[in-house]
């Protein structure tokens, strides 16, 4: 049996999320069906992040074991012959037998995107959250920096979280703008259910002047009370952009990953 990791990208618009659900179109369901088609086996896969319905991925990583004989460098091409057009395999790599896409991850990076203009064209509307108003970028940047470090993020999790602990270490937060596109990018050792979307919803309130920068997140971090934060931002503005692993897997990435943050997002959106 071989152990493999595969880099996936998908448009989450018409998926009911990553995780298999009976009678629903899911990313996991499509991938496992494609793997069975090329290997002749019922293959179960693990994913770095269980993205919600409507959430996109530019850097999802999956792992699985197979007795199939397709050469590793041909796995993406073979998979893509059986995957739908809104889901693609970009790269594959052999791993050690203990590699697990979820448990082996050292960190993940998400980007949340807003389009701040009176109108948003149909080619962008499914990939960004449209806000017909300008956002205060310096205020959002100052607020975002308050999240860096190790904190108890209990308040930043929606009902239904299966987390055993709420402590996470946020390594970096950036809020950038290019024209009408504003992007919030966050890297951490892990995330809670809806954590990034709750942060994004709170940053919107800061950017629109509805919430002060000073003490924006501190009360919620100290008390663990969800009501002290903003609304959960819509799913379609969120992208899972990168997952980091120990060597030899490291980071499986597409040509835009090295650009990082807003530049990487702009490059990908230019394709649509």
Indicate which residue of 52, 98, 189, 214 is catalytic.
52
DSSP 252: -
**Could you tell me which of 101, 127, 266, 108 has the C-alpha nearest to residue 196?**
108
The answer to whether 60 touches 109, Cβ cutoff 8 Å, is no
- 189 is annotated as an active-site residue: no
Q: Which long-range contacts (CB under 8 A, 24 or more apart) does 126-130 make?
A: 126/11, 126/13, 126/236, 127/11, 127/56, 127/236, 127/237, 127/239, 127/269, 127/272, 128/181, 128/236, 128/237, 128/269, 129/200, 129/233, 129/234, 129/236, 129/237
Tokens of 139: 């205020």
Instruction: Mark out the alpha helices in the chain (DSSP H runs).
Output: 27-39, 75-80, 137-145, 195-207, 218-223, 261-269
- Catalytic residues, by residue number, are 52
């Amino acid at each position: 049996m071989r152990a493999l990791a595969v880099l996936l990208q998908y448009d989450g618009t018409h998926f009911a999320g990553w995780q298999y659900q009976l009678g629903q179109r899911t990313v996991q369901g499509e991938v496992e069906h494609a793997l069975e088609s090329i290997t002749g086996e019922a293959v179960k896969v693990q994913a770095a992040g269980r993205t919600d319905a409507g959430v996109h991925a530019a850097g999802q990583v999956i792992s699985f074991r197979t007795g199939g004989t397709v050469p590793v460098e041909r796995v993406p091409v073979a998979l893509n012959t059986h995957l739908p057009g809104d889901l693609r395999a970009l790269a594959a790599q052999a791993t050690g037998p203990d590699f697990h896409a979820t448990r082996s991850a050292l960190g993940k990076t998400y980007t949340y995107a807003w389009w701040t203009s009176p109108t948003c064209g149909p080619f962008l509307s499914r990939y960004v959250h449209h806000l017909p108003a300008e956002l205060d970028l310096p205020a959002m940047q100052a607020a975002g920096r308050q999240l860096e470090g190790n904190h108890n993020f209990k308040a930043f999790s929606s009902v239904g979280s299966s987390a055993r602990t709420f402590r996470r270490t946020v390594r970096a937060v950036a809020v950038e703008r290019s024209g009408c596109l504003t992007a919030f990018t966050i890297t951490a050792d892990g995330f809670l259910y809806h954590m990034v979307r709750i942060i994004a919803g709170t940053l919107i309130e800061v950017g629109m002047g509805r919430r002060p920068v000073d003490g924006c997140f501190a009360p919620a971090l100290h008390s663990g009370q969800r009501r002290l934060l903003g609304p959960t931002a819509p799913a379609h503005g969120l992208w899972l952009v990168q997952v980091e692993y120990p060597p030899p897997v490291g980071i499986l990435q597409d040509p835009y990953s090295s650009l990082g943050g807003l530049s990487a997002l702009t490059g990908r959106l230019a394709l649509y």
